[in-house]
Structure 1
Amino acid sequence: MSRIKPQKSRKNSKAAKTAAQPLQREWQRIVNLKQKNERLEQELEAFMQQCMDALRHDEAEMMDAILQQTKHLAGFLSRKSLAQWQKVELLEWIHQNILQVTNSPFCDQAQLLDLSSFFEGLQQSLGPGEPPPTPEQPTNKPKPGQCHHQRARQDTATEDMFEDLFADFEQEPQPEPDRSAGPDAETDDSGYWEQLFEDFIREEEEAEQARQSDTNGLRQLLKKSSINNLFRQLARVLHPDREQDESRKAQRHEQMSQLLKAREQNDLFTLFSLYEEHMGQSPLESLSEDTDNDLLALLKAHTQELREQQETLIYADPLRGLLYDHFYDKKPKSRARNLQQYCAKLRKIIDNERQITRSITSVATLKPYLEARYNQMPPIDFL
């Protein structure tokens, strides 16, 4: 009998070790992914700072060129020799310049205040007898078979200060219903979009139910005795009353607050991380087997969440996502080259915009530009 017991003990020990291996592997994946995401966050912050430093000077020059051009163009708004369609084009040109400036992260508040003051003075100089052109469609320059072109409008609070000067003088045209398929075509189209909307709502509800199920599952798991034991063991170690030194007591108080917050928010990762840090061993070794299956499922769900978080980190900040799409490359030299090439292109655009501003010295020199804009010449692609 004395020989059998040790063999049974070794067998049970081996079985327990084998059962714990999936949990250990999944936990290690989570730790690795967490570290990877933290490194990605730091790399993205450094990348964004690199972009802002490289672009700041040339982008500021671009904003200055657009501001000067806008002021120059506004001086022609009161000219009687401009036809109605030309005034509409001039207003749209000015409007687009303002949107470009106000939506740029490189335009400072002083420039915006200067532009606001300029247009307030301009509006007063126009007087009540010289209202801005109305949004009606020009009739003295028709284009057979072609409607006046539209450009996208962007909501911005800064537009309010130009509200009296720039109305939304063009409305987005509504597409005509397709009647070629018979009288039911419009009804079918309405049903199609209604079905899309219902599908979207259903998918959102299913996703919310899945999130709620995960939350409830984690909450139930945290109530199990083996998980609660981890919390109680850690709370005894981190309790501030165990420290006599005031500085260490303050540190323990902060750690204890972190632990309580983790429990309140069902933050299993923080709870396990604190346990591993302060108890000197993996929390998985202290759990009973009754939690294995539930815990493994939750750990796998958290692993997937961390994998999906990598893309979320990139586009959490819209500006960072834009810079990433334009300039990012795994190789630092390639990133620097992308930025240099863009700045070289931007300087050419700045020179071109300043040249346009200098060349417009009269209504006669302005009209060819308005004609080109009316004929829908493709706009320059800015960042």
Structure 2
Amino acid sequence: MNQPGSQIVVGVNASVKQSNHLRGLWEKVEQYERSNEKAVIKVNLLYHEYEQVVMTHDRRMGDTRCQWVSHLMSFLDSKEIKRKDRQLLFEYVDGQLMQMQDFPFLYDPDMLRSLAEHLDRHGEVLFRKERKQNLDQVCHEISLMMKAAFGDDVDVPYPQLREALSSGNRESLEQLFEQLRENYSARQTDETDGFMEEEPEWHDYEFNYTPDENDDTSAIREIFRGSQLSKIYRQIARVVHPDREQDPLKKEEKQRLMQQLVKARNEGDVVMLVKMYGELVPDGDISLDGEDLEHIEHLLLMRLRTLNNIHRDIFNGQGLKTCIWKLFSASSKKKVREKMALHIQEVHNGIKQMEREIRYLSSSRKVVKFIHSLFWPGF
């Protein structure tokens, strides 16, 4: 089996040291990719176990927390509570809801939506003047963000945007962004079922290589010639193009590879292009000079940094899955189960405590005292 990129590296007048160095980088990239795949599996397996063992208990806590928020919210209409205290109560409840919306899987979606709508109605009364002043500014800032993400020619649906912002409905805002993202992707897509109805040409690929990733001033502008990339692309395409393949299984595999190749072209992924060339074109006759090899080396080093960041995000940037990993990951299945059992016990204790607080906060006076204790400890 060919090593990734081996045909390109061996087919030039490169020193043994340089060839070994590049092969080592390719192997390291593959090692990082495998490591990331394993990391994804580990995180997903732990999350699946959490769903089977713990989530039911967390959702019971979620239901109780909804009751807690609803109970406090019922005092927002009380005439016995001064306006300033009602605003403090509103801020506390709003903070609770924001925390809950960060982990919607733990709550009944209809209840969460109902609480948010109910609180929003109170907010219209308590903060009407402030909201009116802020809405236009926020709408303008988000529209600028949309244009930055999807192009200046994007048609920002201002009525929908204002409605989503004024309602405080996060799902509506996310759906709006997703709609714009899909429209943008559709405009950018230039693929056809025939894959190569027109001969593709690569432009010169320019990139910044930063030897010291902590020092932006060390960035070096490099250019990979488009003519060279186009030659590599065409040789790969001749091997993997599925149109003349008769065997159904081979045709399906070639279609997958052709899609991967087209994606590499559309995204300007030179590393993937070179990797596919080394793996799929064993008799390739393309030679890269020393400058090209240096570009490949730098692109591989950049890919390693990216893969390292992805690895970190797998464990730290997946919202609920990240929380589950940090809560329950352990060196053995036994220890994982012990952590889960302890968590379940703590959840049950928390439910009982919250139910006691709901029963205790039975009057406006007690609620005001509770709110004051939050904003002014020792009150």
**TM bucket, shorter chain:** 0.5 to 0.7
Amino acid at match of 2:244: R
Pairing 1:344–2:345 present: yes
Where do 1:122-201 residues align within 5 Å? none
Residue 49 (structure 2) aligns with: 50
Distance 1:348 1:255, change over 3 A: same
Which residue of the partner structure matches residue 101 of structure 1?
A: 100
Contact residue 262 and residue 268 of structure 1 kept, 8 A: yes
Query: What pairs with 1:57-68 in structure 2 (closer than 5 Å)?
Result: 57-68=56-67
How far the C-alpha of 1:58 sits from its partner, in A, is 2.4
Which consecutive unaligned segments of at least 5 residues does structure 2 have? Answer: 1-11, 130-162, 170-211
Confirm or deny: 8 A CA contact 1:71 1:118 kept in the other structure: no
Q: CA deviation at 1:208?
A: 10
* 2:370 counterpart of 1:369: yes
Once the two structures are TM-superposed, the CA of residue 263 in structure 1 deviates from its matched residue by: 3.4
For 2:273 and 2:300, locate their aligned partners in 1 and report how far apart those are by CA, in whole Å: 13
Closer, same or farther in 2 for the Cα pair 1:162/1:72, shift >3 Å? farther
Change (3 A) 1:263 1:313: same
Hey, what does 1:271 align to over in structure 2? Answer: 273
Q: Does the 8 Å CA contact 1:62/1:350 hold for their aligned counterparts?
A: yes
- State the partner residue of 2:319: 318
SS in 1 for 2:103: coil
Q: Which has the larger radius of gyration?
A: 1
Which amino acid in the other structure matches residue 266 of structure 1?
A: G
Question: Residues 119 and 162 of structure 1 are in contact (CA less than 8 Å); yes or no, is this contact kept in structure 2?
Answer: no
Distance in 1 of aligned mates of 2:360 and 2:307: 56
Partner Cα distance (2:268, 2:127) in 1: 60
Cα-Cα RMSD: 4.5
Code of the residue aligned with 1:102 in structure 2: it is: Q
So what's the TM-score if we normalise by structure 2? 0.60
Specify the alignment match of 2:308 in structure 1: 307
Note the C-alpha offset of 1:118.
6.1
CA 1:259–1:100: 2 relative to 1, 3 Å: closer
Give the match for residue 244 of structure 1: 246
What is the Cα deviation at residue 237 of structure 1?
1.7
Note if contact 1:58-1:343 (Cα within 8 Å) is conserved in structure 2. yes
Q: Which moved more, 1:32-41 or 1:96-105?
A: 96-105
Counterpart residue number, 2:110:
110
Q: Does 1:233 align with 2:232?
A: no
After TM superposition, the score normalised by the length of structure 1 is 0.59
Task: For residue 351 of structure 1, report the CA deviation from its aligned partner.
Answer: 0.8
The alpha carbon displacement at 1:256 in A equals 2.1
Q: Which residue of 2 aligns with 1:28?
A: 27
- 2:80 and 2:317 mapped to 1: Cα distance? 50
Q: Is the 8 A contact 1:33 1:307 kept in 2?
A: yes
1:103-132 per-position Cα deviation (integer Å, ceiling 9, x unaligned): 332123221244367669x97xxxxxxx76
Deviates more, 1:58-67 or 1:110-119: 110-119
1:72 corresponds to 2:74: no
Alignment-derived partner of residue 170 in structure 1: none
- In the alignment, structure 1 segments of 5+ residues that lack a partner are 1-12, 124-130, 136-156, 164-202, 379-383
Residue 354 of structure 2 aligns with an amino acid whose one-letter code is E
CA–CA separation in structure 2 for the residues paired with 1:260 and 1:82? 65
- Give the partner amino acid of 1:108: D
Task: Determine the structure 2 residue equivalent to 1:295.
Answer: 296
Q: Aligned with 1:242: secondary structure?
A: coil
2:238 partner amino acid: R
Q: Counterpart in 1 of 2:4?
A: none
SS in 1 for 2:243: helix
Relative distance call for 1:326 and 1:223 in structure 2 (3 A) is farther
Instruction: Letter of the 1:56 partner, please give it.
Output: M
Check whether the contact 2:240–2:254 (CA below 8 A) recurs between aligned residues: yes
Q: Deviations over 1:348-376 (max 9, x none)?
A: 12111111112334446545534534542
Residue 22 of structure 1: how far off its partner (Å): 1.8
Q: Structure 1 CA distance, aligned partners of 2:60 and 2:307?
A: 41
Contact (CA 8 Å) 2:94, 2:119: kept in 1 or not? no
- Once residues 241 and 363 of structure 1 are traced to their aligned partners in structure 2, the CA distance between those partners, rounded to angstroms, is 76
Q: How many angstroms does 1:245 deviate by? A: 4.1
| Counterpart-to-counterpart distance in 1, 2:295 and 2:119 | 65
Distance 1:261 1:315 in 2: 28
- How many residues are treated as equivalent by the alignment? 291
Partners of 2:251 and 2:56 in 1: CA distance: 49
Matched, 1:39 2:41: no
Call closer, same or farther: CA 1:286–1:53 in 2, change over 3 Å. farther
Identity between Structure 1 and Structure 2 (%): 19
Gap change, CA 1:80 and 1:278, over 3 Å in 2: closer
Deviation string, structure 1 residues 19-55 (Cα, Å, up to 9, x no partner): 5222222221112112112222222233333344444
Are the aligned partners of 2:76 and 2:86 in contact in 1 as well (CA < 8 Å)? Answer: yes
The amino acid of 1:347's aligned partner reads H
1:149 corresponds to: none
- Conserved 8 A contact 2:87-2:126: no
In 1, distance between residues paired with 2:18 and 2:86?
A: 78
More displaced stretch, 328-337 vs 57-66: 328-337
